[in-house]
Amino acid sequence: QDSTQTKPKNLFWISGGHGLAAWGLSGNYLHNNDLFTVRYHHYHVNSEQSNFFLYEDKSVLYGKVFINKNRNILLSFSLGLGMINITETENVFLGHTVRTEQKFLNIPVESQIIFLPFKFMGIGLKAFANINSYSVSGWGLITLQFGKLK
C-alpha cells in the first residue's frame, strides 16, 4: 500500500466559500476515494461594454480524493454535469435593466485542497470552471467545511 495516501471510509460535509466576485455552497459525500458532490455557485463578470454577467451554476460532480498519511490534507479533482443560468444585464444610470437570460447544459470542473485541523472542520482553497456552449468561466474560493472529515 502507498504510504503517502490513506483510504477514507465514509465521510460527509457541507462546504461554503467566497471569492472576489463569487460564492458557493456544496454538499459532499466521500466513499473510499470516490467523491460525490452537489454544488451551487454564484459569480459575476463585468465586460468592456459596461455589461454585467451573472452566472448561477447548479451541478453534480464525481471525483477522486487523495488524503496524505497524517490525514490532515485532502486533495480532490472532480468533473460533472449541470445547468448554468447566465443573465446579462446592461448598466444604466439608475440601476440595472435585464437584457437576456439563458440556460445552458454545463460541464463543471473543480479542484480543491482542504486542510483538516479538526475531525469536524476544514479550511480550503477551491478552483472551479464551467464549460458550456456560451463560454468557459471560472473562479477561486476560500472555503470552510463542516461535517465528518476524518
- Residue bearing cell 447566465: 86
- The whole-model pTM stands at 0.85
**Along the 150 residues of the chain, how does pLDDT read in single tens digits?**
444 555 667 999 999 999 988 999 999 999 999 999 999 999 988 776 667 788 999 999 999 999 998 889 999 999 999 999 998 877 666 665 767 889 999 999 999 999 999 999 999 999 999 999 988 888 999 999 999 998
Compute the distance between CA of residue 74 and CA of residue 63 in angstroms, rounded to an integer.
12
Residue 16: CB partners within 8 Å, gap ≥ 6?
23, 24, 25, 26, 143, 144
Classify strands 73-92 and 95-115 as parallel, antiparallel or unpaired: antiparallel
Report residue 92 as a C-alpha cell: 444604466
